[in-house]
Amino acid sequence: MNKLYTFFLILLFLIPNLKAQEVKVIDPPFWWANMPVTELQIQLYGENLGSYRATVNYAGVEIKRQIAVDSPNYLFIYLDISEKAAAGKLEIILKNGDGSISVPYELLEREPAEGRYQGFDSRDVIYLMMPDRFANGNPDNDTIEGMLESADRSNPQRRQGGDIQGVVDNLDYIKDLGVSAVWFTPLFENDMTTKYGAYHGYAATDLYKVDRRFGSNEEYKAMIETVHENGMKVIMDMIHNHIGDQHWWMKDLPTKDWVHDFEKLGQTNFRGSVASDPYASEFDSRKLVDGWFVPEMPDLNQDNELLTDYLIQNTLWWIEYTGVDGIRMDTYVYPDKDYMARWSKEVLEAYPGFNIVGEAWVNTVAGEAYWQEDKDGVDDGYDSELPSLTDFQFAFAVRKAFNEDFGWTEGLSQLYYVLSQDFLYSDPMMNVTFLDNHDMSRFFEHIGKREAEFKMALAWLMTTRGTPQIYYGTELMMGHENRGGDDEVWRQTMPGGFPNDSRSVFTKEGRTQKENEIHEYTKKLIHWRNSSPAIHEGKLVHFIPQDNVYVYFRVHKDQTVMVVMNNSEENRTLERVRFAEILDKFKSGQNVMNNRTIDLSDDFSVDAKSTVILELK
């Protein structure tokens, strides 16, 4: 009887503790010793954890701050981890009046930096893909029990089943093309409802997890290592402007101001130019920054210090964990711009060889240049700290260039004028240039499926300044195959990447004759570009387009390249004297695409609807 009574007394004592003993979330799940930053914020989530206070007894680790917030279920702990702290397992002890909780935590050894976080620049060619639309290497993860959406190949607006294994299975195809970096749209967990879906990855529901329908964190890390072993780099897509409305935070926000109030602010105005407008109203500015991108994507409040610390630390965690080489930050102009500058600065200070490209989708060159670090001619005191930009002005210009008749400012003149404004950028060579991407109509479709113009535009992309990006399928001259949705029109799957596909474009035999022709053209261009110092870092000298012909040079001490783009319906003869300032040093040029030599000692002709790329001799 006494033993039973004692048992019930113990049980009664433990019951209050048992309710609070489950720590449901620990972010980040682990950290590293000897990191380039010493401060670590740990977010703990579980019932009533805000009522606890933490202690740590581990050499070199000290609690600097601990913060309870509006929700009683969160506790934020700030640790100082000095260089004296060795890798190992530590214990965080949480105590309140009812008892204590032991929270195990681990500091790992950092992996050697060699071959990791390498950055990217104008020597690279980037291949952009949406993993869901590229290839399905593991059909077993198409449907995950408990997740809100399964793959549905009958509906192009739904998840298709592409995954990490599909990328790994087809790395040989990507490597053979000659690209040196691969940019994946986000792989974060996007456990959104079927009504909205989130195959694209831009509605994160957990910022520390890869979506299980793509694979696991471990598979993502292993894929990056495999890409590195194949001599290529990886660019990770991130979003700090918003999350998905099914993010676990939304069921119990840490603070009342963790996200902006949709009822008060509605959606953003999508006018990125407001952020740099010296005359912008407070109403428009707040609408841009605090409005939600879509109703399913809560807008994060970067005025909240706990949140901004969380986001910066999340970035550092992914870089250290995976060794990824660069980041493309989505919707860069929509969050608080001072926060984005702080984020860029802290990431690049922690990883000096790293690079970041920000999506700056605005309407003018000046508006875009505003977002590049150390810009000239801006007197509002803002420095974004951002090295690289997605060059939408380049994309807009090339789309107009081949859809307009030639004129003083029209047609090929668009290319000339967009480059003539490069003085606004601190370093236009760092711009990521492209013909199309996952948010735009495919270029081949946009120009009316005209092959000659497509090849000219591709040659322009590969020979002018900047870091070129190719959207998956562009190397096959893809048009629009799906007709069932908006974005999905240009986000089709790669034939051969999915079970029961009738053919595979990953093989020469599976491609059509025309696909093989353009694939070989693209491949040859890229492989030549990879070994061209003039294209990587040479000075650009261009001449005003005349008679629908645009001529420019890339001049380097070890190589000079001449590019002649003739968009007219007739062959054109070029007068040598016009280009004498450069051609006087050379007698001939070797065509990089067919190895033929052209005599440049006199006037010379160029075929209609063609681009000639010459290495000068």
Identify which of 528, 560, 562, 565 has the alpha carbon closest to the alpha carbon of residue 546.
Answer: 565
Which of 84, 103, 92, 97 lies closest to 33, judged by CA?
A: 84
Phi, psi of 487 (to 5 degrees): -60, -35
Closest CA to 414 of 386, 435, 393: 393
How far is the C-alpha of 566 from the C-alpha of 593, rounded, in Å? 16
Please state whether 15 falls in left (phi above 0), alpha (psi between -120 and 50) or beta.
Answer: alpha
Active site residue 106: no
The residue from 124, 359, 373, 475 that is catalytic is 359
Residue type, 459: A
Angle, in degrees to the nearest 10, between helices 451-463 and 513-530? 20
Active-site residue, selected from the candidate residues 330, 391, 427, 488: 330
Closest to 360 measured CA to CA, from 382, 381, 391, 384: 391
Contacts of 415 (CB under 8 A, 6+ apart): 397, 398, 401, 460, 464, 545, 550
Sign of CA dihedral 571, 576, 580, 583: positive
Return the number of other C-beta atoms located less than 10 Å from residue 510's C-beta. 15
Tokens at 210, concatenated: 């890869």
What three-state secondary structure class fits 146? coil
Can you give 289-332 as a three-state secondary structure string? Answer: HHCECCCCCCEECCCCHHHHHHHHHHHHHHHHHHCCCEEEECCC
Which string of DSSP letters, residue by residue, matches 155-200?
A: -TTS-----HHHHHHTHHHHHHHT--EEEEPP-EE----TTT--TT
Cα–Cα distance for residue pair 471/617, rounded to 1 Å: 34
Known catalytic membership, residue 359: yes
Burial class (CB in 10 A: 0-12, 13-18, 19+), 166: buried
Active-site positions? Answer: 330, 359
